[in-house]
Amino acid sequence: ILQTDFETDAYNAVYTKIVQFKDQMAEVELYDMNLLKYIKYYFYAALFCSFLTFLLPTFFFIRYKVKYIECLKQEILNMSHGDLSHPMTIQGRDELAVLADQMDNLRITLEENYEKEKEMQQTHHDLITAMSHDLRTPLTSLRGYLDILALHCFKDQDQMDNYLHRCIDKVEQIKELSNKTFAYSLVFEQNSHPQLESISTEALLGYIEENLNYLELEGFIIHKDIKYIKKEVLLDFSMSKRMINNLCSNIYKYSDKDVDMTLTLDDSFDLLLTNKKKSDLSKVESNKIGLKSVKRIVELHKGTCSIEDSEETFSIRISIPLKEA
């Protein structure tokens, strides 16, 4: 008998035999229904295997997606708690992957906005600190000149008039800084540019010597080595004044009384300042904003600024290319 299927065999198990009787021959067919009792078990087993074949892949697929959803949930919670540095997990190309990709773009945008806001706050703080720092420098000089005038120790009127004119210049400088509070922020902006104007090297040197004279009046000994050629150059004089003020203020606050200065004004503005530090700097307030402003001004003029700061000495070298007007 050809067996093809269990159920078919169970119903078609027929046995045929030829029997010889006295009067004739007969064909006897015997049906065996013994396998029918196993049909229900076969049906249940086939049904279970069918469901298992269908449900197992579906179960593993759903389990995989649920774990992915749990992962996205945890990453979103981390974002809500302020962790914007961890990228979102992107798996596959379905709707969940698209959602994760958009959430990652949102994370990047939030991180960029947070960094920009932080930079703006720092810039605002630096602006206020620098403005206060630069206003303090001419105010200190003005106070020194007024103290000298209050002593009435001048032998002639010309000397007195000289200090009066210096006081007036410092007042004008303070007024200029106050009027340019917003323009002053350009020093800290990334896209700022110096406003070049034609000035003489003699005028630049005169402003430097004016600040050095004040330091000498305060008891500083300045060893000068100055070389310059008288000509017209292009420079942002306002920024240059702030740079010189910051350098002199740095000397006044942190330097011992002995200072070496080398200055060359030719094709470039080359300045080297070297001084010993005060023995006790613990009581001196320091926020380094003056040096930051100096570096920024030098960078805006396409120059270089290098600083050597040790425990006992301080040295700063500035080089700014000068173009003839």
Could you tell me if 300 and 218 lie in one domain? yes
pLDDT score, position 1: 41
Structural domain of 38: 1-83
In the structure, what pLDDT confidence band is assigned to residue 176 with cuts at 50, 70 and 90? low
Q: Is residue 98 part of a domain?
A: no
Name the least confident of 20-24, 52-56, 121-125, 173-177: 173-177
Q: Which of 46-60, 117-131, 263-277, 278-292 is most confident?
A: 263-277
pLDDT tens-digit readout, 39-98: 778 788 888 888 888 888 888 888 888 998 899 889 888 888 888 888 888 888 888 889
- 263 belongs to a structural domain: yes
Q: Specify the pLDDT at position 270.
A: 93
pLDDT at 318 over 90: yes
Same domain? 208 vs 291: yes
Would you state the pLDDT for residue 319? 94
Residue 323 located in a structural domain: yes
Domain shared by 234 and 323, yes or no: yes
Assess if residue 71 is contained within a domain: yes
Distance of CA 242 to the CA centre of its chain: 26
Same domain, 212 and 315: yes
Is 112 or 130 the better-scoring residue by pLDDT?
A: 112
Instruction: Determine the pLDDT at residue 187.
Output: 55
- What's the pLDDT band for 18 if we cut at 50, 70, 90? confident
In a domain, 94, yes or no: no
Residue 204 lies in a domain: yes
Residue pLDDT, tens place only, 302-317? 999 999 988 888 999 9
SS (H, E, C) the chain: CCCCCHHHHHHCCEEEEEEECCCCEEEEEEECCHHHHHHHHHHHHHHHHHHHHHHHHHHHHHHHHHHHHHHHHHHHHHHHCCCCCCCCCCCCCCHHHHHHHHHHHHHHHHHHHHHHHHHHHHHHHHHHHHHHHHHHHHHHHHHHHHHHHHHCCCCCHHHHHHHHHHHHHHHHHHHHHHHCHHHHHHHHCCCCCCCCEEEEHHHHHHHHHHHHHHHHHCCCEEEEEEEECCCEEEECHHHHHHHHHHHHHHHHHHEEEEEEEEEEECCEEEEEEEEEECCCCCCCCCCCHHHHHHHHHHHHCCCEEEEEECCCEEEEEEEEECEEC
| The last residue of a domain, from among 192, 209, 239 | 192
* Higher per-residue confidence, 159 vs 8: 159
Provide the CATH number for the domain around residue 135: 1.10.287.130
Residues 323 and 230 in one domain: yes
Our CA dihedral for 217, 222, 227, 232, rounded to 10 degrees, sits at -40
Residue 316 is predicted with a pLDDT of 93
Q: For residues 166 and 239, state if they share a domain.
A: no
Same domain, 14 and 57: yes
CB 200 within 8 A of CB 232: yes
Count of positions (residues) in the chain: 325
Of 192, 211, 237, which residue sits at a domain end? Answer: 192
CATH code, domain with 262: 3.30.565.10
- Pair (306, 208) in one structural domain: yes
CB 146 within 8 A of CB 303: no
Residue 35 domain-assigned? yes
> Which is more confidently placed, 168 or 305?
305
Whether the pLDDT of residue 10 is over 60: the answer is: no
pLDDT tens-place string over residues 249-273: 888 888 888 899 999 998 899 999 9
More confident of the two residues 169 and 69 = 69
Indicate the residue among 138, 171, 192 that finishes a domain. 192
The per-residue pLDDT for 120 is 75
Mean of the per-residue pLDDT values for the chain? 81
Same domain, 13 and 77: yes
235 in the same domain as 307: yes
Closest CA to 143 of 167, 177, 174: 167
Average pLDDT over residues 159-165: 81
- Residues 168, 281 within the same domain: no
Number of domains into which the chain is organized = 3
Based on the domain organization, do 269 and 214 belong to the same domain? yes
The pLDDT value recorded for residue 274 is 92
Residue 88 lies in a domain: no
So what's the pLDDT on residue 305?
93
Model pLDDT, residue 2? 43
